[in-house]
Structure 1
């Protein structure tokens, strides 16, 4: 390393959140549907199709959120490839506030015109205003720190342009 070079600090923020009732619902319903599929041939097809609902509860019942210099990533903690990525250039602003699932479309992963969300509970939430004007909301502990870091990263990225 060149002695004149100054090391650059990199700040990364991670949080995990799990919804016990969503995970329990997914697990219990999956087990019940598997038993029905195994012992009740006339209802096997419908039971197997309904496993999709159980899978949805399991996939969205635990999330991982990361804020880093490359942007924000939010997705399933159980199946990491299932995630949303927001590079900094796609984010206009970030804020945090107390949020109820009913004000953002409900529990789990929600897609609505202009507002999408990942919501596992009422409480702290990271609100992203995207460059296209849409909003993306993630209920997550310590959302204030995530919003502050995102704001700092956005300010730093604009200096570079």
Structure 2
């Protein structure tokens, strides 16, 4: 199977993550009495960095979304868990906001408004990722599902 892959970057999330991490680290050094608080706030910066830039891949293993800046953070959905794929527009507010979102019945990686890959999963839940050429991704997923069913 050919590999389909695209990168999505929310520049504002990455920039805010870098700036806030630098600020919180400096504050932790300068304000010793509040060091613990500032170190905890670094987790928010890490979350922005982890979800602000992702690569979406459709290959023989399934659909994978991994953080570009922290590549060990990934979500892989094997084809055995996917019923069908669709491409349609999405807005961050309908997906619960920006970043990695958990909602009843659906999880999402939402970095912008626009083109999105919507996966219907076998557990009656859904997974959505905003990505350019979502139609190409949906086609790649559905072709693989058809080949699997035909075997």
TM-score class normalised by the smaller sequence: over 0.9
CA distance in 2, matches of 1:89, 1:61: 28
Q: Which runs of 5+ in 1 are unaligned?
A: 1-9
In the other structure, the counterpart of 1:55 is 46
Q: How many residues align?
A: 151
CA distance in 2, matches of 1:89, 1:24: 37
TM-score by length of 2: 0.98
TM-score by length of 1: 0.92
SS at 2:112's partner residue?
coil
Aligned-residue offset at 1:34: 0.7
In the other structure, the counterpart of 2:119 is 128
Structure 2 counterpart of 1:147, from 119, 123, 138:
138
Deviations 1:86-124 (A, max 9, x none): 111100000001110100111000111101100100010
In the other structure, the counterpart of 1:38 is 29
In the other structure, the counterpart of 2:107 is 116
CA distance in 2, matches of 1:147, 1:102: 22
In angstroms, what is the RMSD of aligned CA positions?
0.7
SS at 2:58's partner residue?
strand
Moved over 3 A (4+): none
CA distance in 2, matches of 1:150, 1:14: 12
Rg larger in 1 or in 2?
A: 1
In the other structure, the counterpart of 1:25 is 16
In the other structure, the counterpart of 1:90 is 81
Aligned-residue offset at 1:69: 2.4
Aligned-residue offset at 1:70: 2.1
SS at 2:118's partner residue?
strand
Deviations 1:4-26 (A, max 9, x none): xxxxxx21101111111000110
